Structure 1
């Protein structure tokens, strides 16, 4: 995606790649060149091409692999191999070792010390300058030549005992700030200090997901913040703030204005989320201030002797970017609801760990399994990733048709010559097309088998208050679309005993119930829970998982004070996407829901976030409105004098012909903000950026804007990452969205299940996390109830045994027949 005013076309990924290849590994080549200049040699010496070994721990392995490939390491930085510090390694005393480890990884620190904890009585290192020792060595060699068997046998025994260093020298780089205690431990290993050539802090302890999203790889954050027990809050805050600060350093944003979502109180007077947003924000600001101080010291030293360079970001007197820290309580619907864009639905329904897709091909040797990495190196994936899945399937079909026509076309001699020259590119393009066609076919199979088209449309209706629990139960008790199609096509007229509830995986039914409970406050009690269990086949444990949404701030259980008015006022805000008139209505019915983060980023862009609900903890003054492209009255001014004013209702007026993006309307319940909500009631503006004209974009390019960075404690969804790309183009500035981990629905539900302290339906009150919770062993995240198959196993489902539904239960759901017909016909065409 071409986003104006981006510092780099590859965003965060390129920044991290430069940090690793240039700031860390590039220092060695610079050192060699300096030596050659001093020696007056015009050609590179043999030492400049010296191969080295890169040694990583489990933390830095993920950091490096997310941005750098092995080909880059070998070609640009002479890295011959990459090894794990926690595994046994063969000594390579002829090569230098580069250690890149996390200073908080105790196992890695211990392994580094063990590597160099050898005896210091090495004849090759000591006494070489002593003439007497040299004479003794020569004498021993003469004896060996005359065949002294006694000496040879003793020498072999001694050589076995004589320790050797694993590498010729060591370069140690830490991924985050290192404690003095750790350095003191390293200093006690004399052999390491003797061979240590480099010891630096690199400040790179995060992973990039793509050019505009990142993760700090802390999957246990949600239970730690919202559960009664789990990892200590201090451990979570320290890890997240440290890694977030290294990300800001890597992209050169030390002068960040750090803001956070103020914690809301629950009915028991406790802060939801344990006030972690503020804790992470203040700790991040403290770490950034330390980095700024170190940067200033390095610059002063450099001015003094000109020999010190720093890999930190720039320093100044004002903030250069906006950082907003949220927790998962700000939007607990986004991790549950189905997203229908290509990348999001792949990670929802298919098994693609670490974005690696496994597929099979037929060869002469038989069926072989292949893997494909779905990342930004795949141009076709980048083109399709944020498009609706229905459009993707149509585009892939059209691309395949064009390729087939090109094969059948009669070519002239000149055409054949061009085809031969372009053969490698053609084969690569067709290979990618084949991979994504296979993905689309698998997605289509899952969607049809589980009737997810009907489920997805029902989710959107439930989220916006257009469907009730009766509609959901009616849908679950209806026959699947395949049965209805067979009946309409002249099949058997016998009443079907198969219902959607029987065909649908338990995980999908649980998600549908969670969306209903989250958007219909105070509706669940014992009687209602029993009704859901009977209608959907869910278990009591599943109902407990739904109730645990209360620990994120949702109001799930019915209380004695529940009334229709309180239910209406406690409904959470849900933003709806307003499609352009030319948009496909079938796609729009699945794509109405907009993650809450989109509206928040727009308010952050417009300087309209409440300072009371989103306070700042930074000490640096922020940019003025003029520097952000706005006048004091809130109107945007371009260099050509065009003024665009954003009114109270979100509408725009200007003195020129400015074609604005189509604005979104609020959901039916968005007018009723939850009591005590930290999100103000302002209209959101969402849509596709296609309605911007080139002249409008050229005007906006003239204004340089600072970056907007959103960090979500508890994980960020693929839908929220997609909105970051759209907002970058719409707002004409870098918008980076990250979190403690990249969430999919399965992982989110697994985190909820792992939260300690079940909330019974009888008790309207709850006990939230204590300030100092006891430690628990690590929980396998993303593991659903044994009876609940994960989403990516849809294609292996079997029909469950169930009681035969009554004739009334087999009726079609009460939907608009015309809309339902359009929806089904649209999927059939795929």
Structure 2
């Protein structure tokens, strides 16, 4: 069962339907009140239509003024923060905002805040249910999640902010609880990863001591940090989905809401990027996606246009077909993806990724350490080519030059200070991009990890691993493979080695107290319970009640789960790699990948640039209503 469906059923089956039942008088509708962060979480796996069908009359933001509805019940789904509690109390300060109240928090509520709710004379008698659901994370598609904290890239490296570290641990615990992975076998990469691993293990142990549940979903949890492969967060990736989120974000795409804005005839239209054609195209190479859309358009032409198909333009044909109601949805989907693909090509040309500079080829050589002929690249040649481009092409955008520099510094070890300074001088970055590069260098994520420095003892060398080099050589020589798609994220190699029990115990140790349970085959034989958050025993009427429930059927089909968490954020190319590895695994094995944020090169750079308090935070909570999927 997908992560998205697990979270959806947790809200609908366990939280919402129980709240309606707890009302006690047969009233089958209520209003849902959420804070901005909770709305973003819900938006990632629910649509307004899902809630309407269950009896939710509307979803309202806690932060905004609302009309009192004393004859209607309300379900408050909130973060356990003081500001949220104060707003709830304000709703019932003098007169009741609602008839009866159901309170649901995404994490445990502090006892001091709980006391405030208990002591509220108008509110307390109206509370009919009180639960905690471990839903403090944003779901990405069916197998991804993130914590909406892009600031983790600077806040956790090189020295972690303790509050941010604690929040990260608690949210990762929430993911494990939601997936019923309460006793995972944990492996880690670095000292920071080990610290997170130990904290997660302790938290899960304490949670498990409060539960009546005797089994845990078999799971291996691998905790990495972004230093494992900075190239994946910087290089242009040419799958359709990655191109959309890298090149169109802030242009025609609002990536926070998955909304595409189409402009035609002086009018703009917002479209939710969640249709069957998108699901079919998203992992394809950009050119393969374009060809498939064109094939579908040609098929529609032949079947529906009452004149010679060669005598009518694609735009005119689509406009003609929209007049037929039964064709409107299919035509609109094709028009949407044709528009996005056209805009992607425009952006690639503007940034000179393709002709005439072949910046895309240079990126691939830097990222792979292997050229398109399958031979090892010479670092001096890479540096000379990069320096020449930075010198001879002042029209290149500062952001493009920044990406090239960051990619080079991330992939090449022991770059002499003189060479680094020369590249910075000729690049002539804008002030904000210069600061972004300095901020990235301060994280030390582009340096060789301490455990790997013996492999790069002296001299300038590429950081590609032996396994990666072999894969990149194979990709370079593969017939029919696109030259600009030689690079693949290191996570794909790591996952394949983990599945095949070949992953280095030296580089990725097993957390000591889980060593006895180590091994995919051993863990996979454990008894699988239905998924869902574990039961929390109620100590009194105000404690967190059970949110586990009886989620059925497909849950039990997962016999083993591999959960990868990347501190600093994960990328869409890594999400795709997880999907590709899962397809080769035994039936019943599931791969889920998450991180502190979902990274694209544009969003990484935006986070690293200096910004004022008035600037929007990348990947922020946002506001507005839950979108309808039409």
- TM-score, length-scaled by structure 2: 0.79
Which of 382, 387, 397 matches 1:473?
A: 387
State the distance in 1 between where 2:455 and 2:333 align: 56
Question: Measured at CA, do residues 56 and 29 of structure 1 come closer, stay the same or move farther in structure 2, by a change above 3 Å?
Answer: closer
Change (3 A) 1:779 1:404: closer
CA 1:334–1:197 in structure 2 vs 1: closer, same or farther (change >3 Å)?
same
Deviation at 1:99, TM superposition (A): 0.8
User: 3-state SS of the aligned residue for 1:53?
Assistant: strand
Match of 1:293 in 2: 209
Are 1:357 and 2:213 an aligned pair? no
* Deviations 1:722-777 (CA, angstroms, capped at 9, x unpaired): 1111111122421101111111112222444459xxxxxxxxxxxxxxxxxxxx98
Tell me the residue number matched to 2:200: 284
Task: Select which of 179, 182, 185 maps to 2:113.
Answer: 182
In the alignment, the residues of structure 1 paired with residue 567 and residue 130 of structure 2 have an alpha-carbon distance, to the nearest angstrom, of 32
Cα 1:335–1:625 shift into 2, 3 Å: closer
Larger-gyration structure (1/2): 1
Offset of residue 172 of structure 1: 0.6
In the other structure, the counterpart of 1:493 is none
What corresponds to 1:532 in structure 2?
423
Asked if residue 262 in structure 1 is aligned to residue 190 in structure 2, the reply is yes
Instruction: State whether residues 332 and 552 of structure 1, in contact with CA within 8 Å, keep that contact through their aligned partners in structure 2.
Output: no
Q: Which residue of 1 aligns with 2:509?
A: 614
Contact 1:319 1:622 in 2 (8 A): no
Change in Cα spacing, 1:602 to 1:627, as seen in structure 2 (3 Å) is same
| 8 A Cα contact 2:147 2:171, kept in partner | yes
Aligned to 2:229: 331
Q: Is 2:341 aligned against 1:440?
A: yes
Closer/same/farther in 2, CA of residues 629 and 227 from structure 1, 3 Å limit? closer
Q: SS at 1:25's partner residue?
A: helix
Query: 1:332: Cα distance to partner?
Result: 1.5
Please give the alpha-carbon distance, in whole angstroms, between the structure 1 residues aligned to 2:62 and 2:154: 30
Task: Find the counterpart in structure 2 of residue 373 from structure 1.
Answer: 272
The 3 A distance-change label for structure 1 pair 778 and 430 is: closer
Indicate which of 268, 281, 304 corresponds to 1:384. Answer: 281
Shift of 1:518: 2.0
Greater shift in the superposed pair: 62-71 or 534-543: 534-543
Q: What SS does the corresponding residue of 2:59 show, helix, strand or coil?
A: strand
Aligned to 1:64: 42
Alpha carbons of 1:565 and 1:293: their partners in 2 closer, same or farther (altered >3 Å)?
closer
Query: Quick check: 1:567 aligned with 2:459?
Result: yes
CA contact (8 A) 1:715 1:739 kept: yes
Alignment RMSD, CA only?
Answer: 3.3
Aligned to 2:140, what secondary structure does the other structure show? strand
Unaligned residue ranges in structure 1 (runs of 5+): 1-7, 36-46, 119-163, 264-274, 297-313, 411-419, 478-498, 631-702, 756-775, 784-830
Question: Which one of the candidate residues 69, 73, 82 is aligned to 1:92?
Answer: 69
Q: Give the 5 Å matches for 1:524-673.
A: 524-525=416-417, 527-529=418-420, 531-533=422-424, 535-538=426-429, 542=433, 545-546=436-437, 548-549=440-441, 551-555=443-447, 566-568=458-460, 571-573=463-465, 574-575=468-469, 576-577=471-472, 578-579=474-475, 583-585=479-481, 587=482, 589-612=483-506, 613-616=508-511, 621-622=516-517, 626-627=521-522
Q: For residues 181 and 754 of structure 1, do their structure 2 counterparts lie closer, same or farther at Cα, with a shift above 3 Å needed?
A: same
**Could you tell me how far 1:315 is from its partner in structure 2?**
3.5
Equivalent of residue 250 in structure 1, options 178, 185, 193: 178
Q: What's the CA shift string for 1:775-808, capped at 9, x where partnerless?
A: x98986569xxxxxxxxxxxxxxxxxxxxxxxxx
Deviation of 1:203 (Å): 1.6
**Which residue, 326, 337, 359 being the options, matches 1:455?**
359
Residues 538 and 626 of structure 1: CA distance in aligned 2, closer, same or farther (over 3 Å):
closer
Q: 1:331 to 1:117 in 2, by over 3 A?
A: same
Residue 88 of structure 1 deviates from its aligned partner by 1.6
CA distance in 2 between partners of 1:194 and 1:470 (Å): 74
1:114 paired with 2:84, answer: no
What secondary structure, in the 3-state scheme, does the structure 1 residue paired with 2:302 have? helix
Other structure's SS at 1:98 match: strand
Q: How does 1:733-812 map to 2 (within 5 A)?
A: 733-753=589-609
Q: Which residue of 2 aligns with 1:168?
A: 99
SS at match of 2:211: helix
CA distance in 2, matches of 1:523, 1:325: 28
* Structure 2, unpaired ranges of 5+: 308-320, 370-376, 526-556, 620-630
Partner SS, residue 566 of structure 1: coil
Could you tell me whether the CA contact under 8 Å between 1:627 and 1:705 is conserved in 2? no
Deviations 1:400-456 (A, max 9, x none): 11111112369xxxxxxxxx9x96553211110100000011111111222212111
Q: 1:266 aligns to what?
A: none
Q: Secondary structure at the match of 1:19?
A: helix
Q: Which residue of 2 aligns with 1:342?
A: 240
623 and 261 in structure 1: CA distance in 2 versus 1, 3 angstrom threshold: closer
Q: Is the 8 A contact 2:398 2:430 kept in 1?
A: no
Are 2:70 and 2:96, in contact at CA under 8 Å, matched by a contact in 1?
yes
CA contact (8 A) 1:750 1:782 kept: yes
In structure 2, distance between residues paired with 1:17 and 1:405: 41
Between the aligned partners of 1:425 and 1:315, the Cα distance in structure 2 is: 52
For the residues of structure 2 that align with 1:569 and 1:445, how far apart are their CA atoms?
A: 35
Cα distance in 1 between the residues matched to 2:71 and 2:20: 18
- Whether the 8 Å contact between 1:56 and 1:82 is mirrored in structure 2 is yes
1:25 alignment partner, one of 16, 21, 44: 16
Structure 1 541/200 Cα, relative in aligned 2: closer, same or farther at 3 Å? closer
Distance 1:219 1:555, change over 3 A: closer
- Residues 1:405 and 1:778: Cα distance change in structure 2 (over 3 Å): same
2: distance between equivalents of 1:778 and 1:278? 36
Contact residue 176 and residue 204 of structure 1 kept, 8 A: yes
**Structure-1 separation of matches of 2:582 and 2:121:** 52
State the 1:346 CA deviation. 1.0
Instruction: Give the match's secondary structure for 2:414.
Output: coil
Shift of 1:590: 0.8
- How many angstroms does 1:539 deviate by? 5.1
Which residue of 368, 388, 402 corresponds with 1:464? 368
Shift of 1:626: 4.3
Q: 2:220 aligns with which of 304, 317, 322?
A: 322
**Mapped contact 1:260–1:614 kept (Cα < 8 A):** yes
Cα pair 1:518 1:549 within 8 Å, conserved? no
Counterpart of 2:544?
none
CA distance in 2, matches of 1:505, 1:579: 30
> How has the CA–CA distance of structure 1 residues 779 and 597 changed in structure 2, closer, same or farther, with 3 Å as cutoff?
farther
Match of 1:819 in 2: none
Q: Which has the higher contact order (CA 8 A, sep 6+)?
A: 2
1:280 is displaced (CA, Å) by 2.2
